């Protein structure tokens, strides 16, 4: 899969959508629901530049139908969940194919195929040749459309869940919340005084905020394990994994191991001060690693940084009692009901 490279300016513009969406806050709010609405729009904009409106609503509706069928009885007959899900995927594909086709036609018309920064993932994939000298065939349009939908599936749920959990962990840790506010208030003040806009580097340079994100990712274990199948006999540290066998690598075990993290059950963003927050090492693998490293890594971290910045500098909140369940996947039992007030 091609790594998504979008101009930093456009990226920041997309993500600042958060600010304009915060008016949605009202008294009876489940935070996870709200964040899922906001991040879905951002994801669709980053992938294919669809703006809020009829098309966005269509995509949201069909996508919800698609994901309901990800874990279900594998019966492809009318009336069954899997059938409905596949039908919805087909309708989505039809729309995405049209968007990709129209974009390709527009690119060819303007003859600016390789100039300027790409605006979204479709632009990146349309320009991709698989070879750095541009001599190879471009990717087929059907492949691009399929890829866009494949990226929506892992992208939709993970980011709002991490944001919700960060807010939950912070609600339970007033000292960490105070440090986060101080760091972000300071950046906001600097920006207000200088009149400068935010840049990519502003967010990633906030060390405590990055520590909060890494600590949330470490404890939440959104993807708690990954599967691999041995395509040939492999020997690792004296153990033989025979060809054809499957291995389940548990990311949770690494992140909650006392040998790697002191008091692993404690939310401690300060622990990252020593190691640097955003390193992906063999002790910190929330986004996997190697050839299948998550292509949404930078996007997710930046999106969460921007969310935390706007949220803590503009609002205070009181979260109701909720419980985090870690198995089979991480969830907040009540989707975190919350009362939000402008600061
Ligand atoms: C906090 C957010 C996220 C976490 C923790 C996360 C975690 C992961 C992990 C652990 C993998 C590796 C799976 C494996 O090795 O089998 C993965 C793969 C993947 N992720 Fe993410 N992800 C996140 C957000 C996103 C977003 C926002 C997108 C899309 C924009 C995305 C797209 C993908 C894709 C397409 C793959 C498959 C890559 C491949 O198989 O080569 N992820 N993710």
For residues 318-339, average pLDDT: 88
Ligand 1 centre and the CA of 294: distance in Å? 4
Q: How far apart are CA 36 and CA 156, in angstroms?
A: 7
**193 found inside a domain:** yes
**2 found inside a domain:** no
- 6 or 167: which carries more pLDDT confidence? 167
User: Tokens standing for 84?
Assistant: 């409905």
**Which residues have C-beta within 8 Å of that of residue 248, sequence separation ≥ 6?**
225, 226, 227
pLDDT attached to residue 131 = 59
Q: How far apart are CA 254 and CA 22, in angstroms?
A: 36
Ligand 1 centre and the CA of 60: distance in Å? 20
Which domain range does residue 202 map to?
Answer: 8-342
11 lines ligand 1 (CB under 6 A): no
pLDDT attached to residue 130 = 63
Q: How many domains does the chain have?
A: 1
Q: What is the pTM (predicted TM-score) of this model?
A: 0.88
User: Tokens standing for 189?
Assistant: 């003040």
Q: How far apart are CA 313 and CA 44, in angstroms?
A: 26
In the structure, what pLDDT confidence band is assigned to residue 194 with cuts at 50, 70 and 90? very high
**250 found inside a domain:** yes
Average of per-residue pLDDT values in the chain: 86
CA dist list (Å): 265 to 80, 125, 203, 216, 268: 41, 41, 27, 11, 9
**1 found inside a domain:** no
In the structure, what pLDDT confidence band is assigned to residue 5 with cuts at 50, 70 and 90? very low
Q: Tens digits of per-residue pLDDT, 151-191?
A: 998 888 899 999 999 999 999 999 999 999 999 999 999 99
Query: The domain spanning residue 330 has which CATH number?
Result: 1.10.630.10
Q: How far apart are CA 12 and CA 325, in angstroms?
A: 33
For residues 239-253, average pLDDT: 95
Q: How far apart are CA 50 and CA 234, in angstroms?
A: 45
**3 found inside a domain:** no
In the structure, what pLDDT confidence band is assigned to residue 312 with cuts at 50, 70 and 90? very high
pLDDT attached to residue 134 = 53
In the structure, what pLDDT confidence band is assigned to residue 1 with cuts at 50, 70 and 90? very low
Instruction: Quote the percentage of the chain above a pLDDT of 70.
Output: 86
Q: How far apart are CA 173 and CA 314, in angstroms?
A: 19
- 13 or 237: which carries more pLDDT confidence? 237
| Mutational test site, ligand 1, from 35, 296, 304, max ligand atoms within 8 Å of CB | 296
164 lines ligand 1 (CB under 6 A): no
- In contact, 43 and 152? CB cutoff 8 Å: yes
Q: Is the dihedral of CA 275, 216, 220, 160 positive or negative?
A: negative
Q: Tens digits of per-residue pLDDT, 54-105?
A: 999 999 999 999 999 988 899 999 999 999 999 999 999 999 999 999 999 9
**103 found inside a domain:** yes
Q: Is the pLDDT of residue 8 over 70?
A: no
User: Tokens standing for 320?
Assistant: 């109701």
302 lines ligand 1 (CB under 6 A): no
Q: Is the dihedral of CA 106, 107, 109, 112 positive or negative?
A: positive
């Amino acid at each position: 899969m091609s790594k998504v490279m979008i101009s930093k300016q456009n990226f920041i513009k997309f993500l600042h959508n958060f600010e304009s969406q915060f008016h949605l806050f009202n008294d009876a709010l489940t935070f996870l629901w709200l964040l899922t609405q906001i991040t879905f729009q951002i994801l669709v904009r980053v992938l294919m530049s669809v703006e809020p409106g009829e098309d966005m609503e269509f995509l949201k509706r069909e996508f919800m139908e698609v994901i309901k069928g990800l874990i279900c009885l594998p019966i492809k007959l009318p009336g069954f969940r899997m059938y409905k899900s596949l039908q919805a995927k087909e309708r989505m594909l039809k729309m995405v194919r049209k968007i990709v086709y129209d974009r390709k036609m527009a690119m060819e018309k303007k003859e600016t195929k390789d100039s300027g920064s790409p605006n979204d993932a479709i632009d990146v994939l349309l320009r991709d040749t698989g070879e750095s000298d541009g001599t190879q065939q471009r990717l087929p349009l059907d492949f691009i459309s399929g890829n866009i939908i494949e990226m929506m599936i892992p992208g939709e749920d993970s980011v709002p869940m991490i944001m919700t959990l960060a807010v939950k962990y912070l609600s339970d840790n007033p000292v960490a919340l105070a440090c986060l506010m101080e760091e972000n208030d300071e950046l906001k003040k600097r920006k207000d005084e200088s009149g400068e806009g935010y840049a990519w580097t502003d967010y990633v340079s906030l060390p405590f905020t990055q520590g909060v994100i890494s600590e949330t990712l470490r404890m939440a274990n959104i993807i708690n394990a990954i599967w691999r199948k041995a395509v040939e006999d492999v020997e690792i540290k004296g153990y033989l994994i025979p060809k054809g066998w499957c291995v389940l690598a548990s990311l949770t075990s690494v992140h909650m191991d006392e040998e790697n993290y002191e008091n692993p059950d404690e939310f401690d963003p300060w622990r990252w001060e020593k190691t640097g927050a955003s390193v992906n090492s063999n002790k910190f693998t929330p986004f996997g690693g190697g050839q299948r490293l998550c292509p949404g890594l930078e996007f997710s971290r930046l999106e969460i940084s921007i969310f935390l910045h706007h949220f803590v500098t503009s609002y205070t909140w009181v979260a109701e009692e909720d419980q985090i369940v870690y198995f089979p996947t991480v969830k907040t039992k009540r989707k975190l009901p919350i009362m939000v007030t402008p600061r």
